[in-house]
């Protein structure tokens, strides 16, 4: 039998007698009495098994598997268990690069993002830093330092989430006991300041400045087709275009690992058809892909697109290709249900609301020139009064370019109408409550 003893400061220790009759002590440190009682029961089971030469119960075996190395070492020191094999804890670089190399399905862009996160973590925590040496305080300070270095909050949030994924693997492999990044608040990854709506007028100017038809297709497929650039542009083949039924089967390398994510079908939009027909007529015999000239690894579409914008006299906006895709999704939601648009663009309603849909100048202009209570229903004299007022105001609002004299005239007309309504109301109020029938003779 084992006994539990209390030491000053809330510390606990357990006393027991081993198989040789020697009195042994295990110091547990600060621990609640209830927790210490649970440990005492397991130690009694281990001591009894050692004396009898049997094996501990299944509950004790599972408990041994889950305890930390410190307590396990204390049990091994009094010969209740065999020492654990010492696992050499890897450095931060060794561990994170090992995870990266073992992820066989990572896309090239994802691999680049992994490498970027690894470089930032190693630069901050140190080349020789062991993963078990990173505590919660260290994890809290890393995103603060990235913000001080000028990184956008969305970028910092992405890096924190990826670090949390790395260390979650370390916990599962029992290299560490807890994930230091679990409670680290990741800054919001939505940065609306980088959003930009590319109008049709701007798109037309850009198309006119493109050097060839393939570049016009790259721009049009982004702005009017909503394709991801460059992955979906370069994967698109002539066989994916259904000319007869007016549809395009868009290969989607980003989502091909998801169920039914390898392709999505979009309409052959009217803005795309003439450009695709012209490119098809100019394509060499036996051409497989729609975009051929700009497929090389040395092609930097972003740099080339910036040159096209300068030629068109248009300032470059942030996230060049993403904002054209987002502009198309915003535009389509004006005419089609959101679930249909998301099916065409290849995202979800939540992602669309968070990263794609934009509030444009056209929305403000439309709201400013439309009565807010249009279509409302009133009754009685109040309805007549508000109806006349709204009629005058609607006429005013429908033309935002009228001169001041015209607006003043309309305002005077509204006042005359409202005055007439008021006089009518006074006349009605003088009618006796018994009705308008002639009085019967006495």
Q: Which CATH architecture has domain 92-189?
A: Orthogonal Bundle (1.10)
Predicted pLDDT at 277: 95
Predicted pLDDT at 117: 95
Q: What is the CA radius of gyration of the chain?
A: 37
The residue ranges of every structural domain in the chain are 3-77, 92-189, 196-362, 380-426
- pTM (predicted TM-score): 0.57
- Give, in order, the Cα–Cα distances in Å from 304 to each of 167, 179, 314: 39, 43, 14
CB-based burial label for 176 (10 Å; 0-12, 13-18, 19+): middle
Predicted pLDDT at 145: 94
- Residues 297, 303, 304: CA angle, nearest 5 degrees: 85
Predicted pLDDT at 186: 79
Predicted pLDDT at 189: 64
- Distance of alpha carbon 128 from alpha carbon 57, whole angstroms: 42
Predicted pLDDT at 109: 81
- Distance of alpha carbon 440 from alpha carbon 442, whole angstroms: 6
- Distance of alpha carbon 329 from alpha carbon 223, whole angstroms: 9
| Domain 92-189 matches domain 196-362 at the CATH topology level | no
Question: Average pLDDT per run of 10 along the chain, which is 442 residues long?
Answer: 84 86 87 88 88 85 79 87 77 91 77 93 94 92 93 90 93 88 81 88 96 95 95 94 96 80 92 95 91 85 95 95 96 96 94 90 87 48 46 44 44 46 42 47 48
Domain 196-362 -> CATH class: mainly alpha
């Amino acid at each position: 039998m084992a006994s539990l003893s209390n030491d000053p400061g809330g510390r606990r220790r357990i006393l027991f007698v081993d198989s040789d009759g020697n009195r042994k002590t295990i110091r547990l440190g600060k621990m609640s009495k209830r927790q210490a009682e649970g440990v005492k029961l397991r130690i009694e089971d281990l001591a009894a098994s050692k004396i009898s030469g049997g094996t501990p119960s299944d509950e004790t075996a599972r408990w041994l598997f889950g305890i930390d190395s410190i307590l396990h070492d204390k049990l091994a020191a009094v010969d209740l268990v065999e020492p654990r094999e010492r696992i050499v804890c890897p450095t931060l670089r060794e561990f994170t690069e090992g995870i990266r190399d073992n992820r066989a399905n990572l896309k090239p862009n994802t691999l680049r993002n992994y490498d970027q996160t690894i470089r930032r973590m190693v630069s901050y925590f140190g080349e020789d830093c062991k993963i078990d040496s990173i505590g919660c305080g260290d994890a809290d300070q890393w995103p603060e330092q990235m913000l001080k270095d000028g990184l956008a909050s969305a970028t910092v949030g992405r890096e924190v989430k990826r670090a949390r994924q790395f260390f979650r693997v370390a916990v599962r492999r029992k290299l560490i006991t807890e994930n230091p990044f679990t409670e680290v608040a990741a800054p919001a990854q939505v940065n609306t300041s980088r959003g930009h709506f590319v109008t049709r007028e701007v798109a037309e100017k850009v198309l006119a400045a493109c050097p060839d038809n393939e570049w016009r297709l790259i721009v049009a497929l982004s702005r009017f087709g909503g394709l991801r650039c460059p992955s979906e542009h370069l994967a698109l083949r002539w066989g994916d275009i259904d000319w007869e039924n007016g549809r395009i089967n868009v290969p989607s390398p980003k989502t091909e690992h998801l169920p039914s994510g390898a392709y999505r079908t979009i309409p052959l939009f009217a803005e795309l058809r003439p450009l695709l027909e012209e490119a098809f007529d100019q394509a060499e015999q036996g051409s497989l892909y729609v975009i051929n000239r700009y497929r090389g690894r040395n092609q930097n579409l972003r740099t080339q697109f910036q040159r096209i914008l300068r030629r068109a006299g248009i300032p470059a906006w942030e996230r060049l290709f993403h904002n054209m895709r987002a502009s198309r999704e915003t535009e389509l939601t004006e005419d089609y249900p959101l679930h249909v648009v998301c099916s065409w663009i290849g995202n979800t309603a939540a992602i669309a609301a968070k990263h794609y849909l934009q509030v444009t100048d056209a929305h403000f202009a439309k709201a400013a020139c439309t009565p807010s209570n249009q279509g409302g229903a009133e009754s009685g004299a109040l309805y007549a009064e508000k109806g006349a007022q709204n009629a005058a105001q609607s006429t005013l609002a429908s033309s935002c370019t009228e001169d001041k004299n015209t607006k003043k005239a309309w305002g005077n007309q509204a006042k005359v109408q409202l005055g007439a309504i008021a006089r009518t109301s006074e006349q009605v109020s003088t009618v006796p409550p018994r009705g308008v029938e002639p009085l019967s003779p006495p």
